[in-house]
Structure 1
Amino acid sequence: MLQVSAKLSLIPEKDIVLIILFSSVFFMLVAAAIVVFFYFSRKKINQKEIEKKNIIIEYQDQQLKAVILTQETERKRIAQDLHDDINSKLNVVKLNCHLLSTPNLSPAEQKEITSIIIDLTNKALDSSRKIAHNLLPPVLEKFGLDAGIKELCLEFESSRSVKIEYNNIVDFDFKNLHNDLHVFRILQELLNNSVRHGQATFISITLRENDNFYSCIYTDNGIGFDTNLSSNQKGLGTKNIESRVRFLNGTLEIKSARGEGTRVNFTF
């Protein structure tokens, strides 16, 4: 200690001041560099967070647009069905009702006109039931999701062009019609895609429970499609499914390739 003090005493006071000055400047520069580094690092992190939020907002906007477009498409379809089917039948019924008031009609003519009115009225009632069924399947409301999916499978199998294997190992001990309808519509969209676009002849649907979540495994043996194509990723059907899964706070995974069929896993 005495030796160090002795050495320091040999250094001129001016040099000591310079050493202290340069040391202070050096440490100040280092401190400034650290501050600048942390400033730009934080700025970059904030910029990344803003970009991430913008991507999420854009994705949510796309999802909302897909839902709105789906709703508008469904409304147009219902309006078209009402106008082309039910409305046209009721107009013919109205004309035939006026014919009944025509004087000097024979009993045979009255009977024929009455028969036409009854037949068209029955057809209009059937059409109205189909429209109501598409809006909210009665079996889904009365008996739950499992019964609704079974009926949906039977409807597609009635065409005899596809075989569907449905396995449900979940006991749905709750009744949430809103969520059930989303799951029902997802499967309806998948079945439509498999039969109409995928040309599938066999489809498998399995429902099971994992860690307080329900999951659905859906596969078909159709022609498949390229999942990397943006047109397939941004199609209305895909966006509709993504939107519904998101509303269910679930996850979605779609795997497909040309000639290898399609596999879809989603949770809800």
Structure 2
Amino acid sequence: MNGNSIPDKEIVAIILYTSCFFMVLAIFLIVFFYFSRKKIIQKELEKRDLILQYQKEQLHAVIVAQEEERKRIAQDLHDDISSKLNIVSLNTHLLSAPNLTEAETLEITENIINLTTKALENSRKIAHNLLPPVFEKFGLNAGVEELCEEFESSKAVKVHYKNEIDFDESDIDRHLHIFRILQELMNNSLRHGKATEIWISFKNIESVGTCNYEDNGIGFNSKNAENQKGLGMKNIDSRISFLNGNIKIDSQINKGISVVFTF
């Protein structure tokens, strides 16, 4: 009987030790998964906060860009249109003055016609800058072609443009972002880069719309993040985000700029 009781005690002890081991293991796994899950949730929250912060910065950049554009339009309207119409008004009152000679009447009338013509031309330019009629009627490709012609008309830069994409005219809202990106890049090339040649090409790479942009300007150090934080670049980043695309900018001092973006 004593011989049988010893093995029973050993079995009970083994069961107890085994149960304790699995309980400790279970507690360890629960604690491990708890803290792991907590860490994952924390990282997800941090990622979400970063995304929200990025979206806020994009929205801020768009709002600032819109305000700058409104200021520019207001300035153009005040300087070009209002001033000319004020002079037209003054000249119109002069016509009602007594004892005007035929030559004076003719001169005042010619002034009114000339000023009115210039005011109309400037109002067309302002409207054209807001949304080019060619872009609205014939799409992105025609709009970019006209944009290139306008820059070349200054005789300061030669633009080489090539398109291998058949753009869907129903997607004009997205295409406007592409047009504005190119407009900003070309303005930067001419104003800041002092470029004399610009190359633009559209092509599909692995079914993804891609634009390659280059110039031969003075360039800048693209590795310095501060060089890519201007209002223009923030505006471009915002538009790229709306297009669900990516952008890569490469530039060196005196070696121009190379930009590739997808849309």
What's the TM-score, normalizing by structure 1? 0.91
What value does the CA root-mean-square deviation take over the aligned residues?
Answer: 1.7
SS state at 1:108 partner: helix
Instruction: State the Cα distance separating 1:230 from its structure 2 match.
Output: 3.3
Distance 2:152 2:11 in 1: 96
| Pairing 1:90–2:89 present | no
Matched with 1:60 is 55
The C-alpha deviation readout for 1:193-221, integer Å capped at 9, x for no partner, is: 11111122221101112344321111112
Letter paired with 1:261:
G
Letter in structure 2 aligned against 1:42: R
TM-score after normalising by structure 2 = 0.93
Q: Does the 8 A contact of 1:144 with 1:175 survive in 2? A: no
- The one-letter code of the counterpart of 2:29 is I
Identical pairs, percent: 61
Give distance in 2, aligned partners of 1:90 and 1:196: 31
User: Structure 2 counterpart of 1:107, which letter?
Assistant: E
Aligned length: 261
User: What amino acid is aligned across from residue 111 of structure 2 in structure 1?
Assistant: I
Distance 1:38 1:44 in 2: 10
Separation in 1, partners of 2:169, 2:107: 52
Matched residue, 2:169: 174
| Structure 1 portions without partners, runs of 5+ | 1-7
Which whole-Å deviations, capped at 9, do the CAs of 1:159-193 have from their partners, x for residues lacking one?
Answer: 22221111112222434322222111110101011
Partner residue of 1:102?
97
The Cα shift of 1:12 comes to 5.9
Distance 1:15 1:176 in 2: 79
2:177, 2:243 → 1: CA distance?
8
Instruction: Return the match for 1:69 from 64, 70, 86.
Output: 64
Q: What is the identity, as a one-letter code, of the residue corresponding to 2:42?
A: Q
Q: 2:118 is matched with which residue?
A: 123
> Does residue 202 of the first structure (1) align with residue 197 of the second (2)?
yes
- The letter for the 1-side match of 2:46 is E
Maintained 8 Å contact 2:139/2:169:
no
Deviations 1:14-71 (A, max 9, x none): 5544443233222211111111111111111111111111111111111111111111
Q: Quick one: which of 234, 253, 257 aligns to 1:258?
A: 253
1:86-128 CA distances to partner (integer Å, 9 max, x unpaired)? 0000000001101111111111111111111111000100110
Tell me, what secondary structure is at the counterpart of 2:249? strand
Q: Is residue 133 of structure 1 aligned with residue 141 of structure 2?
A: no
SS at match of 2:31: helix
Residue 156 of structure 1: how far off its partner (Å): 1.2
Distance 2:166 2:130 in 1: 25
- Structure 2's unaligned 5+ residue stretches are none
